[in-house]
């Protein structure tokens, strides 16, 4: 068994590539990596409807190389992926509903680009250590609870199919000896630096926006649906811990709090902090189609192997998040116009 290395020491001077690094999880990760002295490259396609926001990295831009390109644009990215040591492959489109409206675009972004990227890596960074982030939506409706990593994958939407296919690409490239992968399956992550101008991803952040802007929080159905909420800094902890750990190679892990909380409880907690109120509304049909029922996930595989544990309870995480958006909400609430989001590959 390898000696335990503190992530802090490990990343100093390491060449680290973060795809999707201007987005929600990516930018929180990049900021931590910058603090640890890593040599960082960020690739982000800056699709207007996704989470990229230049403000997310504004104060650390001097410490990294930023490439505005789709990871599938081999000509544009290949110069920047040579000899990377660690790759956090977070580039992804995550809207379940969009994937049913426009499945071909979801295929292009989540499968075609990933496959081109991995093909390219095989040549330019052979045997790179790569961490992919999958999604709870890959499981679909629970066959049993809590859902562990061996639970069948029967996603309810096309996005879940493509997230699975891309995870499988990583596994097969790994088994062929071309990369060394780990997949972390995430669910209901919330926190600072999430896009806040539409409700297509991250409903807890959307609740926070409603709370902060004085709108009543709208909970679909009766609000009794259980979810597993995790604060983004805890996800960053998991990413940083998994990458140097050889025991994690070739494996898939749920990254979850393990504590089921109802949507109504979460809404009430946000109302407490933002001094607002919430009410129930009927499910729109398109939401109903992708509603997976109660979600209880088993995160013990990662916790037992690596010792990772969430540091933030829901109250603490929500407080941090609300504080952030109280200060910086104007950078996030108004969409691509009015803040520093890149759009159509041009800087504002």
Nearer to its own copies, 168 or 199 (CB): 168
Tell me which residue has tokens 């699709």: 47
Least spacing, CB of residue 111 vs its own copies, in Å: 6
In contact, 226 and 295? CB cutoff 8 Å:
yes
Least spacing, CB of residue 161 vs its own copies, in Å: 4
Residue 97 binds to its own copies (criterion: CB under 8 A): no
Mention every residue, 6+ apart, whose C-beta is less than 8 A from residue 65: 40, 41, 42, 80
The rounded Cα 188 to chain-centroid distance in angstroms is: 9
What does the alpha-carbon distance between residue 41 and residue 59 come to, in Å, rounded to a whole number?
A: 15
Nearer to its own copies, 27 or 99 (CB): 99
Residue 123 binds to its own copies (criterion: CB under 8 A): no
In contact, 334 and 267? CB cutoff 8 Å:
no
Mention every residue, 6+ apart, whose C-beta is less than 8 A from residue 280: 218, 219, 220, 221, 222, 223, 264
Nearer to its own copies, 24 or 253 (CB): 253
Binding mask 231-270 toward its own copies (x if CB under 8 A, else -) reads ----------------------------------------
Binds its own copies by CB under 8 A, chosen from 156, 184, 256, 342:
156
Binds its own copies by CB under 8 A, chosen from 60, 85, 171, 259:
171
Binds its own copies by CB under 8 A, chosen from 29, 40, 90, 161:
161
For residue 246, the number of C-alpha atoms closer than 13 Å in the C-beta half-sphere is: 6
Least spacing, CB of residue 124 vs its own copies, in Å: 17
Least spacing, CB of residue 115 vs its own copies, in Å: 6
Nearer to its own copies, 73 or 262 (CB): 73
> CA distances (Å), 27 to each of 54, 61, 192, 205, in order?
9, 11, 10, 16
In contact, 115 and 47? CB cutoff 8 Å:
no
Tell me how crowded residue 197 is: count the other CB atoms within 10 A of its CB. 19
In contact, 181 and 167? CB cutoff 8 Å:
no
Residue 119 binds to its own copies (criterion: CB under 8 A): yes
Count of residues that bind its own copies according to CB under 8 A: 28
Pick the piece of the chain touching its own copies (CB under 8 A) from 112-120, 179-187, 228-236, 339-347: 112-120
Binding mask 271-310 toward its own copies (x if CB under 8 A, else -) reads ------------------x---------------------
Binds its own copies by CB under 8 A, chosen from 60, 69, 97, 112:
112
Instruction: Supply φ then ψ for residue 248, to 5 degrees.
Output: -85, -10
What does the alpha-carbon distance between residue 95 and residue 334 come to, in Å, rounded to a whole number?
A: 19
In contact, 144 and 297? CB cutoff 8 Å:
no
Please tell me whether residue 30 adopts helix, strand or coil conformation: helix
Pick the piece of the chain touching its own copies (CB under 8 A) from 57-65, 97-105, 259-267, 291-299: 97-105
Binds its own copies by CB under 8 A, chosen from 124, 146, 154, 200:
154
Least spacing, CB of residue 113 vs its own copies, in Å: 11
Q: Which tokens in the block code for residue 241?
A: 């811990």
Q: Using alpha carbons, select from 268, 273, 286, 284 the residue that is nearest to residue 223.
A: 268
Binding site for its own copies (CB under 8 A): 100, 103-104, 107, 111-112, 115-116, 119, 150, 152-158, 161-162, 164-165, 168-169, 171-172, 175-176, 289
């Amino acid at each position: 068994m390898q000696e335990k290395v503190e992530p802090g020491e490990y990343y100093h001077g390491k060449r680290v590539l973060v795809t999707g690094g201007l987005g929600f999880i990516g930018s929180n990760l990049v900021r931590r990596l910058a603090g640890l002295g890593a040599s960082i490259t960020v690739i982000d396609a800056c699709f207007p409807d996704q989470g990229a926001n230049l403000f997310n990295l504004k104060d650390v831009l001097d410490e990294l190389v930023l490439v505005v390109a789709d990871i599938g644009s081999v000509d544009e990215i290949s110069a920047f992926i040579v000899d990377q040591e660690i790759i956090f492959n977070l580039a992804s489109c995550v809207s379940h509903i969009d994937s049913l409206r426009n499945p071909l675009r979801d295929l292009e972004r989540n499968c075609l680009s990933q496959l081109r990227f991995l093909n390219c890596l095989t040549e330019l960074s052979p045997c790179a250590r790569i961490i992919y982030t999958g999604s709870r939506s890959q499981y679909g409706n629970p066959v049993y609870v809590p859902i562990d990593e061996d639970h069948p994958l029967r996603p309810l939407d096309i996005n879940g199919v493509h997230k699975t296919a891309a995870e499988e690409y990583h596994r097969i490239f790994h088994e062929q000896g071309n990369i060394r992968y780990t997949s972390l399956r995430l669910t209901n992550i919330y926190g600072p630096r999430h896009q806040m101008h539409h409700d297509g991803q991250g409903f807890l952040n959307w609740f926070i926006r409603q709370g902060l802007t004085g709108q009543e929080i709208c909970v679909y159905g009766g609000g009794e649906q259980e979810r597993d909420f995790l604060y983004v800094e805890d996800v960053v902890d998991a990413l940083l811990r998994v990458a140097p750990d050889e025991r994690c190679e070739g494996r898939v892990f749920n990254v979850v709090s393990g504590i089921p909380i109802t949507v109504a409880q979460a809404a009430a907690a946000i109302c407490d902090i933002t001094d607002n109120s919430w009410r129930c509304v009927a499910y729109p049909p398109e939401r109903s189609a992708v509603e997976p029922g109660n979600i209880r996930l088993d995160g013990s595989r990662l916790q037992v192997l690596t010792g990772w544990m969430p540091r933030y309870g829901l109250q603490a995480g929500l407080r941090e998040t609300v504080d952030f958006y109280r200060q910086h909400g104007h950078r996030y609430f108004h969409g691509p116009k009015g803040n520093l989001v890149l759009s159509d590959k041009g800087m504002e």
